[in-house]
Amino acid sequence: MNNQTKGVLFALCATLLWSVNFVIASGIKGHIPPVGLAFWRWTTACVVLAPFALRSTLKNKTILLQNKGYLIITAILGVTIFNTLIYFAGKTTSAVNLSLIAISIPIFIVAISRIVFKEKVSAIKMLGIATIITGVLVLITKGSIQSLLEINFTIGDLLMLLACFFFASYTILVRLKPKEIPSKVFLFTIFIIGTILLLPFYLWEHLYYNQVTFDSTTIYATTYVGICASLISYYLWNEAICLIGTSKTALIYYLIPVFSGILAYFFLNQAIVLAQIISMGIIITGLLLTNKKA
């Protein structure tokens, strides 16, 4: 298997795992406070990864200390802030708005890659991106332009937009990772840093706002998001960036609504309507166009 194929598969698997995360989130909305969910998500990821990465991390402490500034910024953007902002955004805005604003993540990544890495954006890639965005809009609005015009934006939408920009910046930073730092050491380090930085906010939420109730729903949800939607998906996403670049990896992110729709059909008994089928076809067509050589 060549690097191109491997990178695409890694990005697809990461996207699929995040899609399951969205399906789970829709089922536990309001059950777990936002910072609590973020804190225990990353704590779980750290605990699971520790037996595999702790020794290597200590062995590489010199190179880690030399790059501490880069690691702290990457951890803040990708771990501490990104998902926490999404959880806060979900409290004050609709799932439709979140999905609509999530379109901006790959656009941010492509734009920043153009500025930082001078990656060329061909006409065929621009056509593919426009096709993908059209497909996502059809999915969100169910084919109704009127519903798009009637969307109202709130403070949660601004938080989601900031989250998208931060995740795009995180993706760019991953590409700048020093080659001397092994992937598992890099992940373990930013997970630890990000979780430590979340701790004071979690304590404040726990003492003055709302406490996490450790029932079966909480345990199952945090276990999945901690292991699958954090540890495994972040590893696959980071590897995909190294193998096929930031822009191609970013565009595969657009498959999340496709995967989410299919998963919701099987696990939440949500019907798939004609507009969803059409939008899935448009999104996949756009992805094929963006990966076609000019």
Per-residue pLDDT tens listing for the chain (294 residues): 788 889 889 998 998 888 777 666 666 667 888 889 889 999 999 999 999 999 999 999 999 999 999 999 999 999 999 888 887 877 776 665 666 677 778 778 888 888 887 777 777 777 877 887 787 777 666 666 666 666 666 777 788 888 889 999 998 999 889 989 999 999 999 999 999 999 999 999 999 888 888 888 889 888 998 999 899 999 999 999 888 888 788 878 877 767 766 776 676 666 666 776 777 787 778 777 766 654
Which amino acid is residue 99, in one-letter code? S
- Tell me how far apart the alpha carbons of residues 212 and 188 are, in angstroms, rounded to a whole number: 24
Q: Which of 270, 253, 223 is nearest to 19 (CA)?
A: 253
Would you say 142 and 277 are in contact if contact means Cβ atoms under 8 Å apart? no
Chain mean position to CA 73:
17
Listed in sequence order, the residues at least 6 apart from 145 whose beta carbon sits closer than 8 Å to its beta carbon are none
Residue recorded with tokens 């890639």: 125
Please tell me the pTM assigned to this model: 0.82
